[in-house]
Structure 1
Amino acid sequence: MGDNNLLSIPPTFLDEVPGLADALADEPLNRVAASFPAASLPWALLAQQARTHGNYVNAYAYARTGYHRGLDALRRHGWKGQGPIPWSHEPNRGFLLSLFELGKAAELIGEADEVDRVHTFLTDSDPSVIDAILADEAAHAPGTETIVIRGIN
Structure 2
Amino acid sequence: MADHSPVNLTPAGPPETILPPPPTEAAEALDRALSEPAARQRDAIASVVARYPRYLDAWAQLGLRGRDEIERYAYFRVGYHRGLDALRAGGWRGSGYVRWEHETNRGFLRALDGLRAAAGAIGELDEEERCARFLRQLDPTWPPPDQR
Please confirm whether the aligned pair reaches a TM-score higher than 0.5, indicating the same fold.
yes
Q: How many residues align?
A: 127
For the pair 1:8 / 2:23, whether they are aligned, the reply is: no
Alpha-carbon shift at residue 7 of structure 1 (Å): 4.2
Tell me which residue corresponds to 1:45: 61
Q: Structure 2 CA distance, aligned partners of 1:96 and 1:114?
A: 15
Give the secondary structure class of the aligned counterpart of 1:11.
strand
RMSD: 1.6
- Secondary structure at 1:9's aligned position in 2? strand
Q: Which structure 2 residue ranges, 5 or more long, are not aligned?
A: 1-10, 34-43
1:83-104 alpha-carbon deviations (Å, 9 max, x no partner): 1001011110000000000000
Q: 1:47 to 1:7 in 2, by over 3 A?
A: farther
Partner of 1:23: 29
Tell me which residue corresponds to 1:63.
Answer: 76
Calculate the TM-score normalised by the size of structure 1: 0.78
Does residue 90 in structure 1 map to residue 103 in structure 2? yes
- CA separation in 1, counterparts of 2:146 and 2:84? 19
Q: Which runs of 4+ in 1 moved over 4 A?
A: none
Residue 121 (structure 1) aligned with residue 126 (structure 2): no
Question: What SS is found at the alignment partner of 1:10?
Answer: strand
Opposite residue 24 of structure 1, the aligned amino acid is L
Contact in 2 for aligned 1:97/1:133 (Cα 8 Å): no
2: CA distance, partners of 1:119 / 1:42: 21
1:78 to 78, 82, 91: 91
1:20 Cα deviation from its structure 2 partner: 2.2
Pair member with larger Rg: 1
> What is the aligned partner in structure 2 of residue 102 from structure 1?
115
Return closer, same or farther for 1:96/1:76 CA change in 2, 3 Å cut-off. same
| TM-score, with length taken from structure 2 | 0.80
Distance, in Å, in 1 between the alignment partners of 2:130 and 2:146 is 18
One-letter amino acid of the structure 2 residue matched with residue 116 of structure 1: E
Distance 1:14 1:82 in 2: 14
Which stretch of the first structure deviates more once superposed, 33-42 or 95-104? Answer: 33-42
Higher normalized strand content (fraction of residues)? 2
Percent identity at matched positions? 42
- Consecutive unaligned residues in structure 1, runs of 5 or more: 1-5, 136-153
